[in-house]
Structure 1
Amino acid sequence: MESLLVEQFRGDVENLPAPVHAASLARLVNDRYTWETLSAALRRPELRERHPIGVPRKPRCVATDFLHTIPSRRPMTVTLPTYDQVVRLPREFGPLVVPPEYEDANGHMNIRHYLDLGAEAIDTAFRRIGLTDDYRATRRQGFFTAEHHLRYYAEVHVDHRVSAYFRVVERSDKIIHGMALLVDDTTEVLANTLEVVAPHVDLTTRRVVPFAPDVAEAVDRELAITEQVGWPVPVCGAMGIRAQRDRAGR
């Protein structure tokens, strides 16, 4: 694995197996442990002989176009919206009664279903923006997920009713930063958030491209709607769109 990590930082990522390619993404999303592993590997004499590359170069990978993690070690205070605040957003999914098969060994809904329900909410919102199967087929463009962050705030149990909502946090000319919010309608609490950075991609070249004007207008309409709710999005603080953050001095 270490030798493959060295290869990927030489820029030869196109033919690497998927797990190793994921490791290259981890570095770009602020995984300091991957970087430390690589640095240690470069100090090993036997690896230096096989890979005399010196300082790792920027990987030749589409991820470098759209991963916009902002390294931060400062603690953040997150103010969570109330149930009543969240449900003022357009509902994207639900209400769903949690079935028994969603339960895990700990007696609550398994983590993978939080991700699935949040992803369903995001997909519904993106279809409303116009990013449908027809859009992908005719324009050969779509959205990838470059990065996501899950947070869990309350347990959800079998037979509880849940619903999912979506907010656009910010956008650039190529990227949407958004968040799905899963609420427990039975207990009336925010249960989970799924924060995503989604770049707009040419499906032929697999490169990040700007939105068409009609898509940009649709995203702005969505942003205007979600900004009317009057409460801050509980973002993690470790991801976002770099240009906006730089202008804000963060």
Structure 2
Amino acid sequence: MSSQGPLEVKRLKVEPGWIDYNGHMNVAFYLFAFDRGYDVFMDRIGVDQAFRERTGGTIFTGEAHVSYHAELKLDAPIALTLQVIGYDRKRLHTFMTMRHAEEDFLAATVEWMSLFVDLNTRRVAEMPDEIYAALDAIGRAHAALPRPAAVGKSIAMPAPKR
């Protein structure tokens, strides 16, 4: 693993069915694209289909915060990156970016809090050593990266005056 930057996890393009009535990528498909990239990351740390079938272990999303920065239009090429922000045996905090793959502008970000779950009990459980070791290798490399400014950002506006 390189400590030079976040992992590029997936490249794809905006599909015709992802376009909404405003002529750009619908909000739901930003999250869909991020999810496809997160699946690649899960495979990379060993939480793939074979692992799920063998152990009943998987990763669930506990919380996700999406921020939209720029429109993406039909056929736009997308590059997704993922940075591990924090982790322990049960939780995984990641931050992903979606950039236009040719023009390099930031289109969106998502911050995830994920949980390792035992599908047999449907409860949060500890990651097995093999998964934790793979995650730890990436997490250690990413520890040297700057923390994205948007991590931990919340939505807020002043209460209306009455």
- Tell me if TM exceeds 0.5: yes
> Where does residue 147 of structure 2 map in the other structure?
232
CA RMSD of aligned residues (A): 1.8
**Larger relative CO (CA 8 A, sep 6+): 1 or 2?**
2
Matched, 1:93 2:10: yes
Task: Tell me the amino acid that sits aligned with residue 141 of structure 2.
Answer: I
Q: How does 1:1-250 map to 2 (within 5 A)?
A: 88-94=5-11, 96-228=12-144, 230-233=145-148, 234-237=150-153
Deviation readout 1:79-99 (Å, 9 max, x if unpaired): xxxxxxxx94332111x2323
Q: Secondary structure at the match of 2:99?
A: strand
Cα distance in 2, alignment partners of residues 216 and 132 from structure 1? 14
The code of the aligned residue for 1:115 comes to L
How many pairs does the alignment contain?
150
Larger Rg over CA atoms:
1
Give the equivalent residue in structure 1 for 2:158. none
Q: Which amino acid in the other structure matches residue 100 of structure 2?
A: D
- Tell me how far 1:132 sits from its aligned partner: 0.8
Structure that is richer in helix per residue: 1
Q: Secondary structure of the residue that 2:51 maps to in structure 1? A: helix
Q: Give me the identity figure in percent.
A: 27
Cα deviation 1:28-82 (Å, max 9, x = unaligned): xxxxxxxxxxxxxxxxxxxxxxxxxxxxxxxxxxxxxxxxxxxxxxxxxxxxxxx
Letter of the aligned partner of 1:92 in structure 2? V
**Contact 1:168/1:222 (CA < 8 Å) preserved in 2?**
yes
Distance in structure 2 (CA, Å) of the matches to 1:178 and 1:88: 13
Letter in 2 for 1:215: I
TM-score by length of 2: 0.84
- 1:201 maps to amino acid: V
Q: What does the per-residue CA deviation read over 1:150-196, in whole Å, with 9 as the maximum and x for residues that have no partner? A: 11111111232111111111012211111221111232111111211
**One-letter amino acid matched to 1:231:** P
Structure 2, unmatched stretches of 5+, are 155-162
TM superposition outliers: structure 1 runs of 4+ over 6 Å: none
Q: Which has the higher strand share?
A: 2
Q: Which amino acid aligns with 2:134?
A: A
Counterpart CA distance in 2 for 1:124 and 1:165 is 11
Q: Secondary structure at the match of 2:73?
A: coil
CA drift of 1:227 comes to 3.4
In structure 1, give the amino acid aligned to 2:7: P
